[in-house]
């Protein structure tokens, strides 16, 4: 909420306010940004030299594991939905 008055008005009108923690999403987006930057550098090197280096592939694999781990952690924190 932008201000205390906005928070109180929403609480009075609707009786509840959602507090959402976006820190995991920020971490996830930062990791995705790193991966895209690294992939871009790898693509430039491939185009310039015609070679793919094992260290580049390992770095991408490591970053992809971070993305999956972050995604799993985000899903585990979600409340279960009952119907």
CB atoms within 10 A of CB 30: 12
Q: Is the pLDDT of residue 83 over 70?
A: no
How would you class 10 by CB atoms within 10 Å of its CB: exposed for 0-12, middle for 13-18, buried for 19 or more? middle
What does the domain layout of the chain look like in residue ranges? 22-77
pTM, entire model = 0.53
Report pLDDT digits (tens) over 18-73: 777 777 788 788 888 888 888 888 888 888 988 888 888 888 888 788 888 878 88
């Amino acid at each position: 909420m932008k201000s205390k008055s906005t928070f109180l008005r929403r609480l009075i009108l609707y009786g509840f306010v959602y507090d959402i923690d976006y820190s995991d999403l920020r971490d996830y987006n930062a990791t995705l940004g790193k991966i895209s930057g690294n992939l871009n550098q790898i693509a430039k090197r491939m185009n310039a030299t015609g070679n793919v280096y094992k260290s580049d592939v390992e770095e991408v694999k490591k970053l992809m594991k971070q993305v999956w781990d972050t995604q799993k952690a985000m899903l585990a924190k979600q409340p279960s939905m009952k119907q």
